[in-house]
Chains A and B, each alone.
Chain A
Amino acid sequence: MATSVLEHSAVHHAEAKSGLWSWITTVDHKRIGILYGASAFLFFLLGGIEAFVIRLQLMTADNTLVSPEFYNQLFTMHGTTMIFLGVMPLSAMFFNYFIPLQIGARDVVFPRLNAFSYWVFLLGGLFINAGFFFNAWPNAGWFGYANLTSAQYSPGLNTDFWVIGLQILGIASIAAAVNFFVTIINMRAPGMTLLRMPMFVWMSFITQILLLLAFPVITVALVFLMMDRHFGTHFFIPAGGGDPILWQHLFWIFGHPEVYILILPAFGIVSEILPVFSRKPLFGYTAMVFSGVFIAFLGFGVWSHHMFATGMGPFADAFFSLSTMLIAVPTGVKIFNWIGTIWGGSLQFKTPMYFALGFIAMFIIGGLSGVMHSSPPADLQQTDTYFVVAHFHYVLFGGSIFALTGGAYYWLPKMTGRMLNETAGKIHFWLMLIGFNLTFAPMHILGLNGMPRRVYTYPAGLGFEFWNGLETVGAAIIVVSQLVFIVNLIVSLRRPRNAPADPWHGATLEWSIPSPPQEFNFPEVPEVKSSIPLWDLRRELGSLPEPQRVSGAGIHLPNPSYYPLVAAIGVFVTLGGILFAQPHFPWYVITLTGVAVLFYGVYRWAFEPAG
């Protein structure tokens, strides 16, 4: 009898661990990390296709591949997708998978809230993109400047998909930020003081604080815009006394910290890769921590450098110009510390290292053009030209995407248990580096020669043809580089597991457990005496034995739950209902249904045993 019960529960256990339902109900941070990664990578490819169509349109003068209207949708969705559905959730993949592993925890602090964040993110991303099927992809720019977004100038549902979708995504971001904030504060392994945390955890921690403080501001701006479009207010409509510039202030008070939300996780990843492949501890650990904190702090005091062209007057211009230049100081500290880390190191030229080094070089170029924008007279010349496009692609693509790709090569063996092919990885790197520079370096020249952004074509004879043609060739090379990565990934996933626990001789706790980790991560909670616990152990023991998979019986894990998904659907329906807010249409029935579903999900969630 007892045996049959045991067998039965074992079968049940096995069933619960695979199949669609197990993914829908999962609360395991590793699985949620994989869900974030897979979804974000698909969105990233979509954003890349949008970019490539933009490049095809601009390949020749007076091209008519796409209509001006569709071009507007393309560049709006390219920006929105890459920022909110690409880089942010790709970072979230690493937050999910590696924050608990790096701090020696069994999961995040609120596993079900984590699942909720993911589902809200996914539904929000799908919602924004759903406009495509109604010929209503958002088309007013990712920055949504008022009063172009007003009902008068943007009739149709395009901007509604955008304004509601971003609110849904904001809820996901804030829920996730609360979760990781508490996880890092409270779930660290014994001995891991704040100044012993891996640099990726530190930069992620700062990112969560930025998310918590920046997202409420854009939520308010989006609410105002939604009210203007549907409920008769005039927050940003001059005819009713409203001021479109208020949108720009609210948007950039969010938007500039958002820039650091996109880059600080990348800083963290690179700060993990460089020491491991230089066989030296991170140079200037404490300076790295505090420069990150300082960047985040200053990040809230520079927003108006996006608005020099609005004519704010000499005092505001001077203040925001100086505060912007000041950010170059802690950023420079970081760059010198990265160089100090590899200086004199025993460099291992593996693919992650290639991407980390590429990151430093590209990010410096983007950082320097950023300092150029901080001068208002120079900025007035550059505003709305391709020079700005060049700048932010050097920091977001040359910065964030290079670092995230390096992070993928570094950490995917831990996540999948399979090594990626090194040769293919290096081909990926060189193609991406060459394609990236061919695409974006000429934009500096085009911008200084006066080619405006966000315009669907340009006339022949202005000297723009050659550089634009070259950029499109570069973009094609980037596409090929991504295909190399996809093939590399698929081939590695089809092979049996071959990754050891610690393929790179890493310094941090995630390398002390098998690849991929078991559901409970650590059979016993590790103890930490420095910021490089595995190197301490390696020095002590000479070499590290390969950790064995253990049964994990008796280790207490949270129960799976589908209520986070129910609550997420509630959020989705609540806000989605506002899309139908027309006079004489009972849209509030949809919204109130959503509220009811949300309350049902939250109450069942609150009262189900967490396990």
Chain B
Amino acid sequence: MSDAAAHAMHPPTSTGLDNRKVAIWAFIGSECLFFASLISTYLVYKGKSLVGPLPHEASQCMLHGQMQRCEGVFEVPLVTAGTAVLLFSSFFVVLALYGAQKGNRKMLLGWLSATVACGLFFVGMQVYEFTHFYHKGMGYGTNLFSSTFFTLTGFHGSHVTLGVIWLSTILFLAARGKLPPEKALNLELAALYWHFVDVVWIVIFPVVYLMR
């Protein structure tokens, strides 16, 4: 009966795949080229900065109006923590989706909240990191490293932020009982996007933070 009802709501598609799911995959394909362009630019300009600060090594920086020696800016342990949290959030959203599909409200709300919290932690980490860099004399236009770094990780961070807003909206709906199992796809679509944003970070983290 519920199958028939679902069938009436969604006319069958040529491939049997849900329309919105194919759309999200197409969009993700497009986004791959977006981030590929940003990452390529970061790599092309790696080591080409005319002044400091630099990611790892000490360099000459303009600070308080005079050139002075400054250390590498990256704080890898902090970002590693952020990375781990973001990766766990991908695991949590899978559990939330499982809960949604099985009609397990407790699982759904619990793990979805955890996912949103992880996303917020990551964004918070990035805001802290950006502010910290700024106080170390690394503005957006300071050098090629700062421009490519802020653009790449900034766009990733804005994607995470959008994901947090999307997942929070679903969490809000779910808390009001508006995410029954037959609507679990609404969460699955957001989860697909969320996984993609995670995967991009899995590329960014080693390329930007670990590669010397």
Interface residues of A (CB under 8 A from B): 109-110, 174, 177-179, 181-182, 185-188, 192, 212-217, 219-221, 223-224, 227, 231-235, 240-243, 246, 250, 253, 603
- Cα A212 to Cα B31 with chains together (Å): 8
In chain B, positions 134-154 with a C-beta closer than 8 Å to chain A are: 139-141, 143-144, 147-148, 151
Inside 8 A of A185's CB, which chain B residues have their CB?
13-15, 17, 22
- In the A-B complex, the 7 residue pairs with the closest CB atoms: A232-B141, A216-B34, A220-B37, A186-B13, A233-B147, A216-B33, A212-B30
B4 in the interface (beta carbon within 8 A) = no
Inside 8 A of A234's CB, which chain B residues have their CB?
141, 143-144, 147
Given A182-B23, A186-B14, A220-B37, 11 more A-B residue pairs with CB atoms under 8 Å apart are A110-B23, A185-B15, A186-B17, A216-B33, A216-B34, A220-B34, A227-B140, A232-B139, A232-B141, A241-B48, A246-B44
Inside 8 A of B49's CB, which chain A residues have their CB?
241
B38 in the interface (beta carbon within 8 A) = yes
Inside 8 A of A192's CB, which chain B residues have their CB?
14
Inside 8 A of B169's CB, which chain A residues have their CB?
603
CB-CB under 8 A for A224 and B50, given A182-B23, A216-B33: no
- Cα A109 to Cα B38 with chains together (Å): 31
Most buried by A among B139, B148, B151, B169: B151
Task: Name the CB-closest residue of A to B139.
Answer: A232
Inside 8 A of B44's CB, which chain A residues have their CB?
243, 246
Task: Name the CB-closest residue of A to B141.
Answer: A232
In chain B, positions 2-22 with a C-beta closer than 8 Å to chain A are: 13-15, 17, 19, 22
Instruction: Flag if B50 contacts A216 (CB, 8 Å).
Output: no
- Cα A192 to Cα B15 with chains together (Å): 11
Partner of A182, one of B26, B139, B144: B26
Most buried by B among A110, A185, A187, A246: A185
Contact with A along B61-104 (1 / 0, CB 8 A): 00000000000000000000000000000000000000000000
- Cα A179 to Cα B48 with chains together (Å): 41
Inside 8 A of B26's CB, which chain A residues have their CB?
177-178, 181-182, 212
- Cα A233 to Cα B144 with chains together (Å): 8
- Cα A499 to Cα B120 with chains together (Å): 60
In chain B, positions 112-140 with a C-beta closer than 8 Å to chain A are: 139-140
Inside 8 A of A240's CB, which chain B residues have their CB?
50, 141, 143-144
Nearest-CB distance from A243 to chain B (Å)? 8
Instruction: Flag if A217 contacts B33 (CB, 8 Å).
Output: yes
- Cα A219 to Cα B30 with chains together (Å): 11
B209 in the interface (beta carbon within 8 A) = no
Partner of B37, one of A188, A216, A231: A216
Nearest-CB distance from B196 to chain A (Å)? 13
Instruction: Flag if B144 contacts A242 (CB, 8 Å).
Output: yes
- Cα A181 to Cα B22 with chains together (Å): 9
Inside 8 A of A179's CB, which chain B residues have their CB?
23
Instruction: Flag if A224 contacts B33 (CB, 8 Å).
Output: no
Inside 8 A of B14's CB, which chain A residues have their CB?
185-188, 192
CB-CB under 8 A for A182 and B34, given A232-B139, A234-B144, A246-B41: no
Inside 8 A of A224's CB, which chain B residues have their CB?
41, 151
- Cα A177 to Cα B34 with chains together (Å): 15
Inside 8 A of A187's CB, which chain B residues have their CB?
13-14
- Cα A239 to Cα B34 with chains together (Å): 27
- Cα A217 to Cα B39 with chains together (Å): 11
Instruction: Flag if A178 contacts B140 (CB, 8 Å).
Output: no
Task: Name the CB-closest residue of B to A221.
Answer: B37
CB-CB under 8 A for A233 and B15, given A182-B26, A212-B26: no
Interface residues of B (CB under 8 A from A): 13-15, 17, 19, 22-23, 26-27, 29-31, 33-34, 37-38, 41, 44-45, 48-50, 139-141, 143-144, 147-148, 151, 169
Task: Name the CB-closest residue of A to B148.
Answer: A235
Instruction: Flag if A186 contacts B22 (CB, 8 Å).
Output: yes
Q: Can you list 17 A-B pairs, Cβ within 8 angstroms, ordered by A?
A: A181-B22, A185-B14, A186-B14, A186-B15, A186-B19, A192-B14, A212-B26, A212-B33, A216-B37, A219-B34, A220-B34, A220-B38, A231-B140, A232-B140, A246-B41, A246-B44, A250-B41
- Cα A603 to Cα B173 with chains together (Å): 13
Instruction: Flag if A231 contacts B141 (CB, 8 Å).
Output: yes
CB-CB under 8 A for A109 and B48, given A188-B14, A216-B33, A219-B34: no
Instruction: Flag if A109 contacts B27 (CB, 8 Å).
Output: no
Nearest-CB distance from B93 to chain A (Å)? 19
Task: Name the CB-closest residue of A to B37.
Answer: A220
Instruction: Flag if A233 contacts B140 (CB, 8 Å).
Output: yes
- Cα A215 to Cα B141 with chains together (Å): 25
Instruction: Flag if A223 contacts B151 (CB, 8 Å).
Output: yes
Inside 8 A of B34's CB, which chain A residues have their CB?
216-217, 219-220
Instruction: Flag if A235 contacts B38 (CB, 8 Å).
Output: no
Task: Name the CB-closest residue of A to B24.
Answer: A178
Instruction: Flag if B19 contacts A216 (CB, 8 Å).
Output: no
Nearest-CB distance from B84 to chain A (Å)? 28
Instruction: Flag if A227 contacts B23 (CB, 8 Å).
Output: no
Partner of A212, one of B29, B48, B148: B29
Inside 8 A of A250's CB, which chain B residues have their CB?
37, 41
Instruction: Flag if B22 contacts A182 (CB, 8 Å).
Output: yes
Nearest-CB distance from B134 to chain A (Å)? 13
Nearest-CB distance from B17 to chain A (Å)? 7
Task: Name the CB-closest residue of B to A599.
Answer: B165
- Cα A220 to Cα B30 with chains together (Å): 12
Partner of A213, one of B33, B45, B143, B147: B33
Task: Name the CB-closest residue of B to A189.
Answer: B14
Instruction: Flag if B30 contacts A178 (CB, 8 Å).
Output: yes
Task: Name the CB-closest residue of B to A179.
Answer: B23
Inside 8 A of A242's CB, which chain B residues have their CB?
45, 144
